[in-house]
Structure 1
Amino acid sequence: MKVDQKGHTVTIKDTQGDFNSFLEKVTQQFKTFEKQNIIIDLTADTSLAESDLKLFLPLSKQHKKAKKSFVIVVSDLDFNAISDKLLVVPSLLEAHDIIEMEEIERDLGF
């Protein structure tokens, strides 16, 4: 697991390719990142399914309640099949753009 912090956003990248252990580590260390926007970078793992991403739903809901962004980056997936409750994008650039837009919306009171 690799953690990069840039401003008010932290990017957590799976470096081992073991999705279940990565999810467990992120869940255990969630309190460390709760005051920042989170990007979960899963671009290295090509064997992910929509059901795997749904396992992040509790963390995503908890983070959104705290008025922070939670974005998952997956490069090769059918984005139309993903639940509307999860924010999933195909690139890190889009993830940063989404977080910027959500920050602006929160500043404006939406």
Structure 2
Amino acid sequence: MKVEHKGHTTIIKDTESNYLQFVEKLTSQYNSFKDTNLILDITHDKSVDLTSLKNFTDLTKTHKKNKKSLVIVAANIDFNKVPSKLQVVPSILEAHDLIEMDEIERDLGF
């Protein structure tokens, strides 16, 4: 797991290609990241599919309650079939854009 801080956002990259271990590590170390927006880069793990993305649902709910964004960057996913509770994009740049839009919405009170 590689962690990079960029302004008000933390980018966490899965380097082990095992999304279940990645979710467990994130959950156990969540207090370290709870005050920043999160980008979870799981593009390295080619086995990730729609079913495996659902493992991030609890973490996403918790982060949203803290008024922060959590965006997952994944490859080879049918983005039209991703559950609405999850924010999944194909690139880090799009993740940053989505977080910016979320920040604007929160500032406006939505």
Between the aligned partners of 2:19 and 2:67, the Cα distance in structure 1 is 26
CA-atom RMSD in angstroms: 0.7
Determine the C-alpha separation between the residues in 2 that align with 1:99 and 1:86.
13
Amino acid at match of 1:101: M
Equivalent-residue separation in structure 2 for 1:43 and 1:98 (angstroms) = 17
> Post-superposition shift, 1:107?
0.9
Q: 1:18-53: CA deviations, max 9, x gaps?
A: 221111111100111000000100111111111111
- Gaps in structure 2 of 5+ consecutive residues: none
Q: Which residue of 2 aligns with 1:98?
A: 98
Deviating above 2 A after TM superposition, structure 1's stretches of 4 or more consecutive aligned residues are none
Look up the equivalent residue of 1:84 and give its one-letter code: S
Q: Which residue of 1 aligns with 2:29?
A: 29
In structure 2, the residue matched to 1:6 is 6
Shift of 1:106: 0.7
Q: How many residues align?
A: 110
User: 2:84 — aligned with what?
Assistant: 84
1:31 aligned counterpart, secondary structure: helix
Aligned residue type for 1:32? S
Letter in 2 for 1:3: V
- Offset at residue 56 of structure 1 (A): 0.5
Structure 2: distance between partners of 1:10 and 1:19: 18
Q: Could you tell me how far apart the structure 1 residues matched to 2:85 and 2:22 are? A: 21
Give identity over the alignment, percent. Answer: 56
1:74 to 2:74 alignment: yes
One-letter amino acid of the counterpart of residue 97, structure 1: D
Structure 1 length-normalised TM: 0.97
